[in-house]
Amino acid sequence: MEEPSNEVCSVCREPVAGGFTVQGSEASDGRQFTIEIAGTPDRDFNDCDACNTRVHYRCSKHPKTGYCDRCFEKYGLEDYFDPWPWSKVHK
């Protein structure tokens, strides 16, 4: 059995577009380091927040949640769940 590459959607096996950018910045007092992860504008997929499965927005029933369909059902999530969890700033 062929292992899917992480560059393809786990649902349709087609390649995904776009990616993530990670930006780090140091606060002025030099103590706090902030890292921000954001998707590129052409990104057309999610990496599931729970299981890291890669899935196209168009192949997911609930793309705004950041979870794959399996985890969406597993955790009983709702569509109003935080739509962009990966863009949070971690301090």
Task: Give the residues lining the site for Zn ion (CB under 5 A).
Answer: 9, 11-12, 48, 50-51, 53, 56, 59, 68, 71
- Cα dihedral 1, 63, 46, 42, rounded to 10, equals 120
Cβ 41 to Zn ion shortest distance, Å: 19
Gap between the Cα atoms of 35 and 69, Å rounded: 28
Residue (33 or 75) nearer to Zn ion, CB: 75
Cβ 34 to Zn ion shortest distance, Å: 27
Residue (15 or 23) nearer to Zn ion, CB: 15
Cβ 58 to Zn ion shortest distance, Å: 6
Token digits for 46?
A: 């999610």
| Vertex 66 angle, CA 64 and 67, to 5° | 115
The answer to whether the CB of 20 falls within 8 A of the CB of 1 is no
